[in-house]
Amino acid sequence: MDRPLVVGVDGSEPSLRAVDWAADEAALRGVPLRVVYASLWERYERAVFASGPESSEQVVTDVLAVTAARRARRRAPGLKVTSEVVPEGPVPVLRRASREASALVVGYRGRGGAAELLLGSVSLAVAGHADGPVIVVRGDHDDQAGTGRRGRRVVVGVPADPADSEAVRFAFREASRRGVPLEAVRAWHRPAHDSTDQPPFTGDPASVQRRHADEALESGLRAPAGECPSVEVRRRLVEGHARTVLLDASADAALLVVGARRPSGHFGLHIGRVTHAVLHHAACPVAVVPERG
């Protein structure tokens, strides 16, 4: 049986938009949608949803979960939707849910997120610690899942060590589902100064850096392209900072995909500067995919 798509909700507007996106995505994948509400969400985000007896709060959480599920069914008629309220904090609940999900979807900010924050603490923590792909729904496109909109594409940042990248494979599958092109981006840097140790036969340092980036790009795409031959691949080799290049590419994308690695001896995934930047500033939904090794 196909694993369900899971969406975390808390009643906030960003989380309800995440429900819409998740309903579209689950219908696109042909899998059930599971709506999860962690009843301590407001405590984690340092906010209070409502005053009153504990029983009243429980009623509110139950209603929010059911309402979110109904919203998903209206968005995608015929979609199998279940809802669940779990009396724990959101990060451990959603992290556990990610182990059994095809992907985990969250909004970019929860009820407790201050207006000036670009990404809520729950969304950032879940993206950094989940055991499967996490999609943070950003942007304000009417067509949340990126289907049926002309010119939309999936964008993936190809890593420096691209061998068997789960993020690249995930991006190919998403582009194939949507029937849109995949834009594979690899950024490279011109050396700040020429090294005196550079052997003369290797050529100009900038050319060497560009060639290495081009080789990494081709290496990272070879196997996934063979698995999804119908996907149109647009290769982009761009001089500049990866975070700037990817943020620019997100402006009219359906989905931006980046990878995250689990450092040896550390708990959770490593959210590097590039991933951190796109999670906070991207103009479209961002998928953070754990990389093996």
Between 44 and 84, residue with greater pLDDT: 84
Does 46 lie in the same domain as 132?
A: yes
Q: Which residues contact 2 (CB under 8 A, 6 or more apart)?
A: 29, 30, 31, 32, 102
Does 279 lie in the same domain as 166?
A: yes
C-alpha span between 140 and 133 (Å, rounded) = 21
Does 161 lie in the same domain as 131?
A: no
Question: Does residue 204 form part of some domain?
Answer: yes
Question: Does residue 96 form part of some domain?
Answer: yes
pLDDT band at 11 (very low <50, low <70, confident <90, very high): confident
C-alpha span between 53 and 25 (Å, rounded) = 37
pLDDT for the residue numbered 49? 46
The 8-class DSSP code of residue 161 comes to S
- Using CA atoms, how far residue 221 sits from 2, 235, 236, 252, 253, in Å, is 26, 9, 12, 22, 19
**pLDDT tens string 45-77:** 444 444 445 545 556 667 888 999 999 999 999
**Which of 43-47, 57-61, 116-120, 215-219 has maximum average pLDDT?**
215-219
**Is-contact 249 258, C-beta < 8 A?**
no
Does 273 lie in the same domain as 160?
A: yes
Does 199 lie in the same domain as 118?
A: no
State the total domains in the chain.
Answer: 2
Structural domain containing residue 34: 5-137
C-alpha span between 161 and 51 (Å, rounded) = 51
Does 190 lie in the same domain as 259?
A: yes
CATH number at residue 71: 3.40.50.620
